[in-house]
Amino acid sequence: MNEAHLRVGDLDVTRIGLGTNRLTKSRENVAFIRSAVAAGVQMIDTAHLYTGGDSEETIGEALSPFPEGCIVATKGGFGGPGRGRPELLHAELEQSLRRLRIDTIYLYYLHRVDPETPIEESLGAIKEHRDRGTVRYVGISEVGIDQIERARRVVPIAAVQNHYNLSERKYESVVDYCTEEGIVFVPFFPLRGDGGGALAEIARRHRATPRQITLAWLLRRSPAMLPIPGTLSLDHLKENLAALKIDLSDAEFEALR
């Protein structure tokens, strides 16, 4: 039986979150975010980059002051060489605080390692916010084990967010590393990829959709896994949360592996 909750920092949250990289600002989307939390989502994933700032602003408008137990994670430092320079990260982080209408970001990720800025310098900038109290926990995105270990020498790393799903498996060793080290592994693009014919058959057997089986597979893959499927539909979101109740047999898990 998969655990329905996972500890992120010092809070236990529902093990399926919500990705918001298509969230634009509208009355409907403000209502959608509130309904998502009411439906049981406790980890909302956004970034400084998303929808030109609309995603963070919409979440800020919908949730501030944030309900107890609900985590909003955001990210900064995306966009290519130079974007991980400390002064840019400080500026983005301060903008994220304003857009989200909060004083402390619960989980802040370095969105990408900057090829021109040593990872230690980018993480050092985020650590300054952690020391100041404007960031509570730190994460890092699209990284290998060496980079995570370098990052951890600067600041504790609570979460790693990498591209991972049924078809994209280049980070298997990172999943195992995070599991062993007690770091939350957040797979992005969790619903992409294809489990082939076996997926459709297993879905039929569980009277579930292939996407639900995909999520159930991820949950089963590691107890450290916390997928953040992106959706703008409350029906889809509820369907995604319902995947928490699906238990795959060992044979089903292996057939999709």
User: Which CB sits closer to ligand NAP, 85 or 192?
Assistant: 192
- Pairing outcome for strands 135-141 and 159-163: parallel
- Please identify which of the residues 50, 109, 137, 177 carries the catalytic annotation: 50
Residue from 64, 167, 233, 249 touching ligand NAP (CB under 6 A): that is 233
| Strand, helix or coil for residue 242 | helix
Q: Which of 203, 228, 241, 246 binds ligand NAP (CB under 6 A)?
A: 228
| Residue 142: CB atoms within 10 Å | 18
Nearer to ligand NAP, 16 or 155 (CB): 16
Residue 108 as a binder of ligand NAP (CB under 6 A): the answer is: no
Among 4, 39, 145, 232, binds ligand NAP (CB under 6 A): 232
Distance of CA 157 to the CA centre of its chain: 14
Please, which residues bridge with residue 71 across strands?
43
Sign of the alpha-carbon torsion through 237, 138, 168, 49: positive
Q: Which of 32, 164, 185, 189 binds ligand NAP (CB under 6 A)?
A: 189
Secondary structure percentages of the chain, helix, strand, coil, to 5: 45, 15, 40
Whether residue 50 lies in the annotated active site: yes
Scanning 133-171, the segments in alpha helix (DSSP H) are 145-152
**Where in 43-62 is the site for ligand NAP (CB under 6 A)?**
45
Are 14 and 225 in contact by the 8 Å Cβ rule? The answer is no
Which segment (29-37, 88-96, 151-159, 182-190) binds ligand NAP by CB under 6 A? 182-190
Among 90, 136, 192, 206, binds ligand NAP (CB under 6 A): 192
Cβ 229 vs Cβ 41: under 8 Å: no
Q: Nearer to ligand NAP by C-beta: 131 or 194?
A: 194
Coil, helix or strand for 162? Answer: strand
Query: Applying CB under 6 A, does 240 fall inside the site for ligand NAP?
Result: yes
Cα–Cα distance between 77 and 79 in angstroms, integer? 7
The residue at minimum Cβ distance from ligand NAP is: 230
Nearest alpha carbon to residue 184 among 9, 4, 3: 9
Candidates 83-91, 148-156, 173-181, 236-244: pick the segment binding ligand NAP (CB under 6 A): 236-244
Among 128, 168, 181, 239, binds ligand NAP (CB under 6 A): 239
Among 161, 218, 220, 221, binds ligand NAP (CB under 6 A): 161
Instruction: Label residue 90 left, alpha or beta by phi (over 0 means left) and psi (-120 to 50 means alpha).
Output: alpha
| Active-site amino acid positions | 50
Q: Which residues contact ligand NAP by CB under 6 A? A: 19-21, 45, 111, 141-142, 161, 188-192, 211, 228-233, 236, 239-240
